[in-house]
Structure 1
């Protein structure tokens, strides 16, 4: 199997905030549910199955805007997208944006072509990381 060129990291500790819920442990771990749905959906997608890895990560420190996902690739812009959930609509939004992302040389797909939820809930666009020389002691 070829190395995948994109990486989606999904916070699996995200819980949706409900101010009326006093028992935090009673809330479902929405991030884990979103991760599981994305793994399944990417595995079935003809474009993404060979190009995008989906990785569970611990807290991404965006609890007030849970659930949170990052999308990165070497030499491309990276994104942090929030206010997600496991719904079909949000999973479809992430898949659509991911297809645009992996097809883009720079990681900056045309803004108008991005799903509306992604446009409105992108917290950060990170510039591509420079290549660092080998660090030797």
Structure 2
């Protein structure tokens, strides 16, 4: 059930998230999460400074009411689950910008003033790194 991936900063995208409240898939039969991951990779090709964060796909992050959902993580840092995204390049750019700043931070905490507008209001939960609790 577990698949090894390279360690390091990553955005884990729920590949099975709905495309919208009305539809599971787009007109081409692709799920919203898969479309969001595709948009992230396209943004990374256009903007190399956002390519330092891996885009990884995983079926179902169990946040089905908050599609499209992502988990931003890096070793030894606070992680975050965000949702309610439209699977497009604008959302992809905001997520990757935040994830890049998260990766560059000491503990995974990015000052609110540095959050891209596109992630504000999308946070669902924060997760402490193994062996730590947030204070």
Report TM bin, short chain: 0.7 to 0.9
Change (3 A) 1:63 1:105: same
The alpha-carbon deviation at position 95 of structure 1 amounts to: 2.0
User: Which range moves more in the overlay, 73-82 or 28-37?
Assistant: 28-37
Preserved CA contact (<8 Å) 1:42 1:52: no
CA distance in 2, matches of 1:40, 1:92: 10
TM-score when scaled to structure 1?
A: 0.78
Aligned residues: 124
SS at match of 1:71: strand
User: Judging changes above 3 Å, is the alpha-carbon distance between structure 1 residues 4 and 25 closer, same or farther for their aligned structure 2 residues?
Assistant: closer
Root mean square deviation, CA, Å: 2.2
Q: What is the match of residue 85 of structure 1?
A: 86
In 1, distance between residues paired with 2:131 and 2:46?
A: 33
Decide whether aligned partners of structure 1 residues 17 and 112 sit closer, same or farther in structure 2, where only a CA change above 3 A counts.
Answer: same
Correspondence list, 1:23-38, <5 A: 28-38=30-40
Change in Cα spacing, 1:98 to 1:25, as seen in structure 2 (3 Å) is: closer
Secondary structure in 2 matching 1:92: helix
- Provide, for residues 23-81 of structure 1, a one-character-per-residue CA deviation record: whole Å limited to 9, x for no partner: x56775111111111122224433332x3111110011111110000010111010101
Residue 17, structure 1, aligned to residue 21, structure 2: yes
| 5+ long unaligned stretches in structure 2 | 1-5
Larger Rg: 1
Residues 1:64 and 2:40 aligned together: no
